[in-house]
Amino acid sequence: MSEYLDNMNTENAQDEGKITYANEVVSTIVSVATTEVEGISGIYGSNGSLTGIIGRNRVPRGVKVDVNGENVKVDISVTVDYGMPIQKVGRNCQENVRKSIESMTGLHVEKVDLHVIGVSFEKENKEMQQSQKLAMSLETEEEQQALREEKVEVEYSEESSADPEMYEDESEETESEEPQKPETVGEETVDRE
């Protein structure tokens, strides 16, 4: 596959024909490569789903591509997840887009301009909702444990409040009885109870 990509150009070296790419094809590559980057929450104008990006020639309004011969210029408008280092996310996005276009088409990417047009709290909100659900389940487990402990205490207190003389008589009998020693009859030891 590597040889195939290395030998792929917009024009065949032996003039057997020409390979050209529609802007929509390169835009689709850009859209997918952009959304693969951790910290990118979306592309401006997309619904965020992969089918929305590549289905029925729908390219988000936030992706603009200019293919000029073997050179490409890309312009992307994105939103970034809150709390992510925007410079790092931006550089990662530019690099991923550049590598994807060059490896899939053989075109040379002159530049990738990235515009951060917003910050998304969606990921943070999902994490907060998950932690709230976890806290609620822990509270429920703690309540159930407390109920179990309370039940055990009630059972114990009911047992201890039963006729205390009954327990005293049993303990006196066991204390006064001496354990019987086994007798030896011939060579065999016999326990008598």
**Least-confidence region, from 23-27, 62-66, 121-125, 178-182:** 178-182
pLDDT digits (tens, 9 = 90+) for 138-150: 677 777 777 777 7
Amino acid identity, position 14: Q
Q: And the tokens for 176?
A: 């006064």
- Rounded to an integer, the average pLDDT of 51-61 is 55
pLDDT for residue 185 is more than 60 = no
For residues 7-22, b (16+ Cβ closer than 10 Å) or e, as one string? eeebeeeeeeeeeebe
- Rounded to an integer, the average pLDDT of 99-128 is 88
pLDDT for residue 5 is more than 80 = no
Phi-psi group of 45: left, alpha or beta (phi > 0 → left; psi -120 to 50 → alpha; rest → beta): left
Q: Could you give the 3-state DSSP secondary structure of residue 60?
A: coil
Residue 31 contacts residue 46 (beta carbons within 8 Å): yes
Whether pTM > 0.85 for this model: the answer is no
Instruction: Place 125 in a pLDDT band, splitting at 50, 70 and 90.
Output: low
- Rounded to an integer, the average pLDDT of 21-46 is 91
Q: What is the DSSP letter of 111?
A: E
* H/E element, 28: helix 23-35
pLDDT for residue 137 is more than 50 = yes
Q: Is 60 exposed, middle or buried (CB count within 10 Å of its CB: 0-12, 13-18, 19+)?
A: buried
The CA distance from 167 to 105, in Å, is 90
pLDDT for residue 106 is more than 70 = yes
Spatial neighbors of 83 by CB under 8 A, at least 6 apart, are: 124
Amino acid identity, position 61: R
The CA distance from 25 to 57, in Å, is 9
* H/E element, 151: helix 122-160
Q: What's the confidence (pLDDT) of residue 38?
A: 95
Q: What's the confidence (pLDDT) of residue 192?
A: 55
Q: Hey, which of 3-7, 13-17, 35-39, 169-173 has the most confident mean pLDDT?
A: 35-39
Q: What's the confidence (pLDDT) of residue 84?
A: 94
CA-based end-to-end distance of the chain: 88
- Rounded to an integer, the average pLDDT of 109-135 is 80
